[in-house]
Chains A and B, each alone.
Chain A
Amino acid sequence: MAYDYEKFIRPGKLPHIWCPGCGHGIVMKGLIRAIDACGLKKENTAIVSGIGCASRLPGYMDCCTLHTAHGRAAAFATGVKMSRPEMDVILVGGDGDGTAIGGNHFIHACRRNINMTYIILNNKIYGMTGGQFSPATPTGDKASTTPYGNPDPAFDIAKLAIGAGATFVARGTAFHANQIDKLIAEAIQHKGFSVVEILDDCPTTYGRRNKFKSVIEMMNHLKDIAVPVKAAEKMSPEQLKGKVLTGVLYKEDKPEYCEQYAKVIERAQAAK
C-alpha cells in the first residue's frame, strides 16, 4: 500500500510553491515519514524555518509551524525549545538561510547542543531570489551574481556543524530519497543538536546556469558524487576526489542544553 502523506499535510495548503523538479518536496516527504516513524505528536511538534524556498516547507505541515525571518530559525527555535522543552523542535531551511545570514545562530545552536534537529536543504544557491551564489556554491560556478564564475570558496556544511559542536551530523541527497527519512529519524532520536544536510537540486536557478540539461542530469549527478561513509573507508584518496560522503558522519554523547539549564534551576533553588 502506498504511504499516506496526507495525515501530516495541512488540509487545504497544497499545491506547494516549488518548481517542477525541485528537490525540496522529496525532502518534505522524507521528513513526514521520519516524524511518523518516530511517533511524534503533531500538536507537540514545532517546525521552524527562516526565509527561502526551502523555508516554505513548514507551512505545509500540520504541526505548530513558525516561518521566521531570513536566517533566524535557529534562534527562534532556541526560544521555543527553552520555553517548552517537552516539545519536539525541527528546523528546516536552505543553505543560504542557514549558513550566510543565519551562520552565527547556526554555529551557536550547534555549540549549545540543544535538543533540536536542523535539516538543511543544500541546493548550493539562493533559489527564492533568483539564483545568487550562497556560501555553499562551489568555486567557479555560475550564479546570477557570479557571471564570470564564483571567486568564493564554499563551506562544507556538515564539517562546519561538527566543528561548531553539533553532536549528530548526517548527510544525504535528494536522489537517495529512501535514506532521507532514516537519517532524519535517527537525528530526531538523538539527544542533542542534530544536523542533517540534504544535497538537493534547484533546476530553475542553478541547474540551467551550470550546464545541467535536465532535472534527471542533476539527480544523476547527486547519485554519482555520493559515497556512503562505509564504502569510503575502502576507497583511496584518488577515488574519493570529487565525491561527498553520505550517511551518519558524526555522533557523540554530550550534555544537552535544556538538561544543563534544568541543573542551573536546581542549583539556584538550592541556594535560595
Chain B
Amino acid sequence: MAKKVAFLQGNEAAAQGALYAGCKFFAGYPITPSTEVAEVMSVELPKIGGKFIQMEDEIGAMAALLGGALGGAKALTSTSGPGLSLKQELIGYGCIAEIPCVIINVMRGGPSTGMPTGPSQSDIMSAKWGTHGDHPAICLVPASVQELFEETVRAFNLAEKYRTPVMVMPDEIVGHMRERVVFPEPGELEVIDRAAPTVEPAQYKPYDTSFGDVPPLAAFGSGYKFHVTGLNKLPDGFPTTKAEYVQAEEERQVRKVEGNADDIMKWEEYKCDDAEIIIVAFGSTSRSARFAVDQAREQGIKAGLFRLITFWPFPEKRILELSKKVKAFITPEMNLGMATGVVKAAVEGNAPVLGIFRVDGEPINPGQILDKMKEVK
C-alpha cells in the first residue's frame, strides 16, 4: 500500500507527529506563530477521545498540561515568545516533579512582544536556563517539515523515557513553511510509553531510585496513591530539606539527561570529513548553510555543515574533536550569538568561531555565509 503523503505546514506536521506518538491531551493558549498546532489538536483530539483545552493563559496551560500528564496522558502544549516566558515557572515544576510532557515552542523575535511574525532562533538559551534552578534540559531543533513531524514523535519518546519535559523548537520559518510529508506507517517509528510501576500500590514510591535514575511513574486514578510536590523531595515524594537527599536528587535529575546524552543527541555531518571550515547551524539557517557549503565546494573551498538536530544536550565532545582539524567554525544564527557562545566553549580555543547574527526578521542567506568563509585565513 502506498504511504500517506501530504503537503503540510510545519506546525500542522508537529501536531500530526504528536498524534502519531499517542498524544491524548493538549492544553494551550493561542500565540503567533504557533497557533496552528493548537488548532489541529482541537480538531483531531476529540475524534480519538482525547482532550483539548484552551486555558486562561500560558501558566494555566502549563499547569493543566502537567495535571493531564499526571492523569496518565501523553500531553502536549505549544507556544511562542512571551508564552514561553510564562510557561517557564511550571517547566521547572515538571523537571523537579519529573512529569513527562512536550512543549512545542515556535521561535519568534523577542524580547517581549518583539516580532510576532518574524523568524528567530533566540529561545535556545531559554530552553536551558529559562526556569530557575539546576534542571535537565532536552531541546530539539528540526529543520524541515518532515523532520518536525519525526522529532515531535522523538520528543514524546524522550519525555516518556526520561520522565521530563522536552522542548521542540522550530524557528518560525520551519513552523510556517509547507513541504511534502510522508506519514510513517503505525509501528514504523518507535513509540515509547512511560514505564508503569511493577510494585503493589502500598509499596509504590514515585521517586524510588532503586529502579534506576528514572523511577516508574504511576497515573493518578490508576489505584496508586502518592504525593507530588515542587519542593525538594524524598523517594516517597514528600518534602525534605535534608542535605544528602537534596544534593543526590538534584544530581540525579540532571544526570538522567546528561548521562544519557548519547541516546538523546542527534546531529548530521555533511561534507565534514575533509572540511577546513565547518558551519554549525540548526533549523532554517542550516538550510542556507547547506546551500552555502555546496557553493563553496564548487569554488574549491573545503566547507562542511554540522547540523544540530538536538540543541540540548549539546554535542560538545564531537565539536571538540572536529575543532582539532579545522581552520574555523562559522555559526550563523537568528539571534545575537547564543549558539556561537556554546560552540566557543566547546572548541576550547582550538579554532576561531565566527558568528553571523541576524535579528531583523530576515533569514540568513547563503551569500552571507559564503562571504564569511572567505574571511577565513
Residues of A within 8 A of B (CB): 10, 13, 42-44, 46, 48, 51, 58-59, 62-69, 72, 75-84, 86-87, 104-105, 108, 261, 264-265, 267-269, 272
Chain B residue with minimal CB distance to A46? B220
Given that A76-B67, A104-B57, A104-B60 are known contacts, is A83 also in contact with B229, CB under 8 Å in the complex?
no
Closest beta carbon of chain A to B31's beta carbon, Å? 16
Query: What are the residues of chain B within 8 A of A84 when measuring CB–CB?
Result: 71-72, 219-221
Q: Is B64 an interface residue (CB 8 A)?
A: yes
Interface set, chain B 61-111, CB cutoff 8 A to A: 61, 63-73, 75, 89-90, 93
In the bound complex, what is the Cα–Cα distance between A117 and B56 (angstroms)?
A: 19
Query: What are the residues of chain A within 8 A of B239 when measuring CB–CB?
Result: 59, 67
Q: Is B196 an interface residue (CB 8 A)?
A: no
Supply 16 A–B pairs (Cβ within 8 Å), ascending by A. A10-B227, A65-B227, A68-B93, A75-B56, A75-B64, A75-B67, A76-B66, A78-B64, A79-B65, A79-B68, A80-B70, A82-B53, A83-B25, A83-B71, A104-B56, A104-B60
In the bound complex, what is the Cα–Cα distance between A59 and B53 (angstroms)?
A: 28
Query: What are the residues of chain A within 8 A of B69 when measuring CB–CB?
Result: 79, 83
Given that A75-B64, A265-B49 are known contacts, is A87 also in contact with B228, CB under 8 Å in the complex?
no
- CB-contact partner of B67 in A43, A66, A261, A265, under 8 A: A66
Given that A58-B227, A69-B90, A108-B60 are known contacts, is A75 also in contact with B55, CB under 8 Å in the complex?
yes
Query: What are the residues of chain B within 8 A of A51 when measuring CB–CB?
Result: 230
Closest beta carbon of chain B to A61's beta carbon, Å? 9
Query: What are the residues of chain A within 8 A of B221 when measuring CB–CB?
Result: 43-44, 46, 64, 84, 86-87
In the bound complex, what is the Cα–Cα distance between A80 and B27 (angstroms)?
A: 12
Q: Is B51 an interface residue (CB 8 A)?
A: yes
Query: What are the residues of chain B within 8 A of A67 when measuring CB–CB?
Result: 227-231, 239
Query: What are the residues of chain A within 8 A of B225 when measuring CB–CB?
Result: 42-43, 62-65
Given that A261-B51, A269-B47 are known contacts, is A66 also in contact with B228, CB under 8 Å in the complex?
yes
Query: What are the residues of chain B within 8 A of A80 when measuring CB–CB?
Result: 67-68, 70-71, 220
Number of A-B contacts (CB under 8 A): 140
Query: What are the residues of chain B within 8 A of A42 when measuring CB–CB?
Result: 225
Task: Known A-B contacts: A68-B63, A269-B47. Give 16 more (CB < 8 A).
Answer: A43-B224, A46-B221, A65-B225, A66-B67, A67-B229, A67-B230, A69-B230, A75-B60, A79-B75, A82-B51, A83-B68, A83-B69, A83-B70, A84-B72, A265-B49, A268-B46
Query: What are the residues of chain A within 8 A of B231 when measuring CB–CB?
Result: 67
- CB-contact partner of A64 in B47, B66, B68, B226, under 8 A: B226
The answer on a CB contact under 8 Å between B238 and A13 is: yes
Query: What are the residues of chain A within 8 A of B89 when measuring CB–CB?
Result: 69
Q: Is B201 an interface residue (CB 8 A)?
A: yes
Most A-side CB within 10 Å, residue of B67, B70, B219, B224: B67
Chain A residue with minimal CB distance to B236? A12
Given that A69-B93, A83-B68 are known contacts, is A108 also in contact with B227, CB under 8 Å in the complex?
no
Query: What are the residues of chain A within 8 A of B60 when measuring CB–CB?
Result: 72, 75, 78, 104-105, 108
- The 8 A-B pairs with the shortest beta carbon distances in the complex, nearest first, are A79-B67, A83-B71, A75-B63, A79-B64, A268-B46, A75-B60, A79-B68, A84-B221
